[in-house]
Structure 1
Amino acid sequence: MTANESEPIEMPAEKTDDESAERDDETLELAAQVELLEEENRRLRTEYARAKQSKYRRTAYGLLALGGVTMLFGALVADGREVLFALGGTGLFGGVLTLYLTPTRFVAAAVTERVSTALSTNYRALAEELGLAEQVVYLPSERRSAQLYLPQSPDYDLPELDDGPVVTAAGSRGLLLEATGALLFEEFEQSASESVTARPGTLATQLAEGVVEQFELADAVDTDRDPGGGRLTFRVSGSALGAVDRLDHPLTSFLAAGCATALDRPVTLDVTEDNRADWLVTLRWETESD
């Protein structure tokens, strides 16, 4: 082959009309499947909200029916009429109240979990960047029910509550943040049938019921108290928002913020996995004898 001659250049084979049509069909099929899945997801969310609303409405109608029947018996029966009227009025009032308070929108637990995970990740990143200790402390506060304090040193002095979010005072350097569970505990206090107590044993029961019954953050919470004082332990099963060992997880934050507020003293938090339940949440504080 001479210098002036060159090898022929092979051109890539053009796609045939059949291959292009086949790929277009595959793309359309995938798009159709995605659209069907999105529609099914919307349908399931709608059905879930409708089912929850139906549950509230059935309860309300049951209370109304029970109240009406009891009032009718009270009108017909002379003996115990006052008691029957009182019970009937309570049932009617409860039914109307349940209908009025039935929520119109429900947020899936997966959405809340992703939001809380992002928040915990950001807190952890800040703590690592500032070289803070791994201690987690919840402080009672006048501004909120409790604040989250992440000290720089394991041997720390309590910060002034107005020094946050970045505390630079010697001996108490760290982060002072709004606790995720502070607003939850305030809502719990407002809706509780009885006032929150400062007795640790009873307080543990109240907080556990708040986690399971009111906020539905877990399937079950068992409590244990140190007879000598200064410690409460919660065994958590079936967390609705994933792993509870994340920094300022809503469930643990609610327990710690509630304990710090009710006892009016700093509370340290420790979370580990447990063989008797999913998680072991331990709260500690200094007692008068310490």
Structure 2
Amino acid sequence: MSNSSLSQSEDSTARSAVDTAQSEEQRLRNERDTLQRENQRLRSAYHQAQQATHRRAAGGLAIVGALAAAASALFPSVANVLLALGGVGLFGAVLTYYLTPDKVVSADVTQRVYDTKATNEQSLVTELGLTGQTVYIPRSSNRDDAATDSVRLFVPQYSEYSIPAESALDSLFVATEADKARGISLVPSGIHLYREFHTSGRQSSGETGSVAESVDELVDAVLHMFELADTTETTVEAESGRVRVAFSSPTYSRADVLENPIASFLAVGLAQHLRRPVSTTVTATEDTLSVVCQWDIK
């Protein structure tokens, strides 16, 4: 076979390979486009289903309100009560209809984001050889950034630790002259939840209220404001510097990470109330997250 024939055969084979590759690439592009369209369709359907649920709730409230208002004409003796009920129903219907959320972030999405953050933090602790203990330290209220950095999470290097100076908490790596005060300083995952809770007007006990009152308000926020758990069992031992809260069906149930957001929120709130460091111990069973907060009562 001549060199010319070999060259033509190789060219033909190369062109065939290129055509096959291009055909495969086009097929993959078509599949990608199809999957993107299907994903968009499913997202749209999910969004519409969520909106439909809220609209049905609004319709139900409107019907109840209209029936109550109409019944007030038939029962004059309780007309005032029925009119009030009708007004509440109609007003609730309007709010529910127009305040339907445009976007719904599923719990699974937030869980995945949280898992990534928790994994990174745990890797940092392991790499640095830290204890993994979590100590929430309140900071001075006269700081310029007190509103956004009121509590820091201190992770000590040694199990027998001492609280570092406040200025040392400004840095990620707390490298003080005293070995027992070394570790890392982080922004607690519950600090933004606490800030939202603090500005919502739900906090009435302040620093002058009892520990039990403060814990009740924090737990109520977890259940009803943030909806991060279904029910709780609370034990307050203020004289011993100890609080235990068991959350059932928690949204964030992991106890094998550096910081659980529910425990962080509770500890941040207690540290702010007590104005002293609060340490946490978190354990979990199949459907319960147990958080123990402790502080020095001296």
Alignment TM-score, normalising by the size of structure 2: 0.71
| Corresponding letter in the other structure for 2:152 | Q
- Partner residue, 1:225: 235
- Partner residue, 1:81: 79
The CA deviation at 1:80 is 1.9
C-alpha distance in 1, partners of 2:273/2:62?
Answer: 37
- Partner residue, 1:44: 42
The CA deviation at 1:204 is 5.9
C-alpha distance in 2, partners of 1:59/1:101?
Answer: 12
Q: Which moved more, 1:185-194 or 1:47-56?
A: 185-194
Are 2:190 and 1:181 aligned? yes
C-alpha distance in 2, partners of 1:91/1:137?
Answer: 47
The CA deviation at 1:285 is 1.2
The CA deviation at 1:67 is 2.4
Q: What residue ranges of structure 2 are gaps of 5+ in the alignment?
A: 1-8
- Cα 1:131/1:17, change in 2 over 3 Å: closer
C-alpha distance in 1, partners of 2:216/2:10?
Answer: 75
The CA deviation at 1:224 is 4.6
- Cα 1:54/1:138, change in 2 over 3 Å: farther
Residue 119 of structure 1 is aligned with which of 108, 117, 120? 117
The percent of aligned pairs where both chains have the same amino acid is: 34
Residues 179-223 of structure 1: CA distance to partner in whole angstroms, max 9, x if unpaired? 1112113324555767479666676666555445543445x4543
The CA deviation at 1:160 is 4.3
Residue 99 of structure 2 is aligned with which of 101, 125, 128? 101
Give SS of 2:133's match.
coil
C-alpha distance in 2, partners of 1:62/1:91?
Answer: 9
Identify, as 1 or 2, the structure richer in helix: 2
Residue 282 of structure 1 is aligned with which of 284, 288, 291? 291
The CA deviation at 1:131 is 3.7
- Partner residue, 1:237: 249
Aligned residue pair count: 275
Q: Which moved more, 1:52-61 or 1:13-22?
A: 13-22
The CA deviation at 1:79 is 0.8
C-alpha distance in 2, partners of 1:90/1:76?
Answer: 19
C-alpha distance in 1, partners of 2:199/2:49?
Answer: 27
- Cα 1:287/1:238, change in 2 over 3 Å: closer
Q: 2:66–2:86: 8 Å Cα contact kept in structure 1?
A: yes
The CA deviation at 1:165 is 3.2
- Cα 1:273/1:76, change in 2 over 3 Å: closer
| Corresponding letter in the other structure for 2:262 | L
Q: What residue ranges of structure 1 are gaps of 5+ in the alignment?
A: 1-10
Residues 50-96 of structure 1: CA distance to partner in whole angstroms, max 9, x if unpaired? 22232223223322332233233334432122222222222233333
Q: 2:253–2:289: 8 Å Cα contact kept in structure 1?
A: no
The CA deviation at 1:278 is 4.3
The RMSD of aligned alpha carbons is 3.7
Alignment TM-score, normalising by the size of structure 1: 0.73
Are 2:286 and 1:272 aligned? no
Give SS of 1:180's match.
coil
Q: 2:57–2:96: 8 Å Cα contact kept in structure 1?
A: yes
Q: Which moved more, 1:250-259 or 1:193-202?
A: 193-202
Residue 148 of structure 1 is aligned with which of 133, 150, 153? 153
C-alpha distance in 2, partners of 1:21/1:74?
Answer: 79
The CA deviation at 1:19 is 6.2
